[in-house]
Chain A
Amino acid sequence: MVNVTLAEFSNRFVYAAMVTYTIAMITFAVSMAATRGRDLVPAAAVPAEGQSGGVAVATRVETTVGGPNDGALPPGRRSANIAMSITWLATLLLGVGVLLRGLSVGRVPWGNMYEFSITSAFAVSLAFLILSLKRDIRWLGIFVVVPVLLTLGLAVSVLYTDAEQLVPALKSYWLVIHVSAAVICGGAFCVGAAVTMLFLVADAGERRALAQKPYMLDWLARRLPPAASLDAMAYRIHAFMFPLWTFAIVAGAIWAESAWGRYWGWDPKETWAFITWVAYAAYLHARATAGWKGRKASVIALIAFGCFLFNYFGVNLVITGLHSYAGV
């Protein structure tokens, strides 16, 4: 029933992917260190010359793809390109690992926490790479690769379970629908949270620069896109994911109806899915409420992601409920 050889190969591919992601992470870090930061104070707001003490030395705002190219790449650009290529390779390796895991058990590779984690990690990297084909998001690279590595590390060390068949409760086509939606949401919420955090850093950097105050994360803020565009990107990710998360919950409810005889029973997993949903709804409402836009709304988005994480790790590992299955 279980093809042990394929499962064994899957594990090796996952490990190989982890090594490759680590190299990508280091390369992204090198690239970031080499990048010249932008000036955090908008040109119009730069005070008269001679008063600029404390403000970072003004450098030209880097143009993104499509700008004039005089042949020489700006500093950090070459290493960023290399890092992207390594990330492609790592994602390919991880993809093979996930695929082999699925083939070894003859079902979708998200039947337990280990499989869910590696599949989520794959989904995040793939989404990042596909997005990178359309726009320049190399600056985001390290902030995607690090959570991917953390997830994979946790998966192989704490959550690992041998490839096995499923308990009867999971034998349903809803496993494909409900859990795949949750996998995609997990990945996207993770990226959404990363971009939100970066927004908070960039926003703080821009405010402090304008007020001519020192900022601890100034070096990072200067290497990020403007806060406004980070905010817009975070919003787009969350706005896109919220309907999908709603769908994941509804699909879960339909499944619960056919497995347990009720579509909603306030099982801990259901309760926390609901809490996460309400928290993201609060984020979307906060953005439309005066006095809550920007920083406050972003904090709500991060709290919502915290709820999502708790629903995954906390509820699965700490609280027992109907969603507790054999071997995490």
Chain B
Amino acid sequence: MTELRTDATHEGTPQLSTQPVEVTQAEFGIVGWLRWVWRTLTSMRTALILLFLLALASIPGSIFPQRGSNPIKVNQYIIDSPTVGRFLDKLGMFDVFASPWFAAIYLLLFVSLAGCVIPRMIAHWRILRSRPPAAPKNLSRLSDYRTLPMLAGESAADVLGLAAAHLKKSRWRVDAQEFDGQTGWVAAEKGYARETGNLLFHMALLCLLAAVGLGSLAGFRGTVIVREGSSFADTRSQFDSFQPGRLFDDSALPPFTFTLDKFTADYQRGGQQNGAAREFAAKVTVRDEPGAAPYGKLIQVNDPLDIGGVKTYLVGHGYAPTFTIRDPKGAVVFRDTVVFLPQDGNYTSTGVVKAPDTVPQLGLTGFFLPTAAVDQILGPHSTFPAPDDPAVFMSAWDGDLGLDSGRPQSVYKLDTSHMQRLGIKAMRPGESWTLPQGHGTVTFDGFKLWSSFTVAHDPGQGWALASAIAAITGLALSLLVRRRRLWVKVSTSPGGGTVMEIAGMTRSEHASVSDDVEALATQLVGRATSVPMQ
């Protein structure tokens, strides 16, 4: 009721007198407030605070595992400490650089930057087209002020002309006022590139952000494991994992294929860094498109395969043992080369073999060891990454693999909930294991290597590089170029006769114009010899 009444009284009060006031107040209030927000946002102090926040906000990204680079570690972290993990996850600590609060900081920073830079660009554009400012009345207040003697029989115009010519030759922007009997001057300015560079740098940062955005929207990234002798075709279904940008179109995938012919790895033997990798190379045969002529290529760690901007990088490798399973009558029921995943630097690898066509179904799980060793603490493990003494340690299970349940299964895990263990066996290449209870035999035929590749395309990359180069150029200009002004003034002194004064000024931090004044003075003092020659 009261509200209604106040509303009513509001309406009822003399509108003509109050409303305009109210409206202007409200408008002024909002406009004024917006202006205040804009001014605060674009102030250097705010930029400084935002820079601090940006640095601070990046720190958790280096402390906690990040989904973008290591999703497995993130999952492990949440499994290990569920309460803390889930809490951190809610805060976005595992996706720091994609989190809304991180985006808020850098977007505010870039708005602040644009608000600061654009008016300065307009102002700088005006300055670039204007003349150097006229000589101040009192040059002697400026730094590096000095007076030079006039020569006998020399006119003020001669001196000013000489000064202007010298300054123009040294690439100064020059303006002059002819000697009018009382005074005349030459004004010169140099170092506009400082502000140009400063603005270029900040604009380049905006472009860099746009390029990063373009890359993540229109690019893609996929990973695939390829065994020696196997092939890969560049279509989405062939990838083990595929992360397209929101605007990515599958037709952008060039239809190339390649076969991994051979993977070679070389390791250091002996010394402090025993076992450290020295050389990885994947020899592949590539076809740019179906039916095209094949060609060989060596993909190495710093040397990707590049097909129309889509690059294939060598990112990892491992071992894939070959197993043959025969039924009790000797008929082959399973033969495959199975990818095992490395668990440590010596390539102790674990993997799973699933034979769904045997009755009952068979599963094998265990280790592949390139250089086999067994001890009490570590169990079966590898002591060197190269296959010096390869062996597998497998345990066999029979029962239901659970493949028919319809639930998706990892090829690297054996669901043993409906299986029972038959036994465990170590085998060297070529050895066979006769399974108990008349289940047939398992043969470890040998092994191949596999390589993992990342296939990626980032359409923003070229723009990002161009922006970065522009940013560095701008930075160098803005921090190394000095903006400075020089004046030469000739005037009649109160006591008669003419006085020549020169002085300089700089607004760049901790810079001096002494050397410029010195050079000009030297030139002007030396005119005694140069004037007659003209």
- On whether the beta carbons of A253 and B468 are closer than 8 Å, the reply is yes
* Interface flag for A25 (CB, 8 Å): no
- On whether the beta carbons of B273 and A327 are closer than 8 Å, the reply is yes
* Interface flag for B55 (CB, 8 Å): yes
Contact of B279 among A168, A257, A327 (CB under 8 A): A168
Q: How far is the CA of A14 from the CA of B304 in the complex (A)?
A: 38
Residues of B within 8 A of A231 (CB): 510
Could you say which of A59-67, A92-100, A134-142, A270-278 contacts chain B?
A270-278
Q: List 7 A-B contacts (CB under 8 A).
A: A162-B271, A165-B278, A240-B480, A257-B461, A261-B304, A278-B54, A288-B509
- On whether the beta carbons of A289 and B313 are closer than 8 Å, the reply is no
* Interface flag for B349 (CB, 8 Å): no
Contact of B48 among A243, A265, A286 (CB under 8 A): A286
**Chain A interface, >50% SS class:** helix
- On whether the beta carbons of B315 and A246 are closer than 8 Å, the reply is no
* Interface flag for B502 (CB, 8 Å): no
- On whether the beta carbons of A271 and B272 are closer than 8 Å, the reply is no
* Interface flag for B506 (CB, 8 Å): no
Q: 3 closest Cβ contacts across the A-B interface?
A: A326-B276, A232-B510, A261-B313
Residues of A within 8 A of B277 (CB): 167-168, 326
Chain B 452-490 near chain A by CB (<8 Å), digits 1 or 0: 001010100100110011011001100110000000000
Chain A 155-180 near chain B by CB (<8 Å), digits 1 or 0: 00000011011111101101000000
Contact of A247 among B276, B301, B472 (CB under 8 A): B472
| Cβ distance B107 to chain A, nearest Cβ, rounded Å | 15
* Interface flag for A307 (CB, 8 Å): yes
* Interface flag for A213 (CB, 8 Å): no
Residues of A within 8 A of B45 (CB): 289, 291-292
Given that A263-B464, A275-B59, A285-B51 are contacting pairs, would A239 and B479 also be in contact in the complex, using a CB cutoff of 8 Å?
yes
Given that A235-B509, A271-B62, A289-B48 are contacting pairs, would A261 and B276 also be in contact in the complex, using a CB cutoff of 8 Å?
no
- On whether the beta carbons of A261 and B454 are closer than 8 Å, the reply is yes
- On whether the beta carbons of B300 and A239 are closer than 8 Å, the reply is no
Q: Which partner residue on chain A sits nearest B456 by CB separation? A: A261
- Please give 8 more A-B residue pairs, beta carbons under 8 A apart, in addition to A168-B280, A327-B273: A164-B273, A246-B472, A257-B461, A261-B454, A261-B456, A265-B69, A278-B58, A326-B277
- On whether the beta carbons of A262 and B456 are closer than 8 Å, the reply is yes
Q: How far is the CA of A259 from the CA of B475 in the complex (A)?
A: 27
Q: Give the tally of cross-chain contacts (CB within 8 A).
A: 140
Which residues of chain A from 213 to 234 have a CB within 8 Å of any chain B CB? 231-232
Given that A260-B313, A261-B454, A275-B58 are contacting pairs, would A167 and B302 also be in contact in the complex, using a CB cutoff of 8 Å?
no
Please report the total number of A residues contacting B with Cβ < 8 Å. Answer: 58
| Cβ distance A297 to chain B, nearest Cβ, rounded Å | 10
| Cβ distance B76 to chain A, nearest Cβ, rounded Å | 14
Q: How far is the CA of A275 from the CA of B61 in the complex (A)?
A: 11
Residues of A within 8 A of B454 (CB): 260-261
* Interface flag for A188 (CB, 8 Å): no
Contact of B302 among A172, A264, A287 (CB under 8 A): A172
- On whether the beta carbons of B58 and A161 are closer than 8 Å, the reply is no
Q: How far is the CA of A269 from the CA of B12 in the complex (A)?
A: 68
Residues of B within 8 A of A169 (CB): 301-302
* Interface flag for A123 (CB, 8 Å): no
- On whether the beta carbons of A243 and B476 are closer than 8 Å, the reply is yes
* Interface flag for B303 (CB, 8 Å): yes
Which residues of chain B from 268 to 302 have a CB within 8 Å of any chain A CB? 268, 271-273, 276-280, 300-302
* Interface flag for B68 (CB, 8 Å): yes
- On whether the beta carbons of B66 and A243 are closer than 8 Å, the reply is no
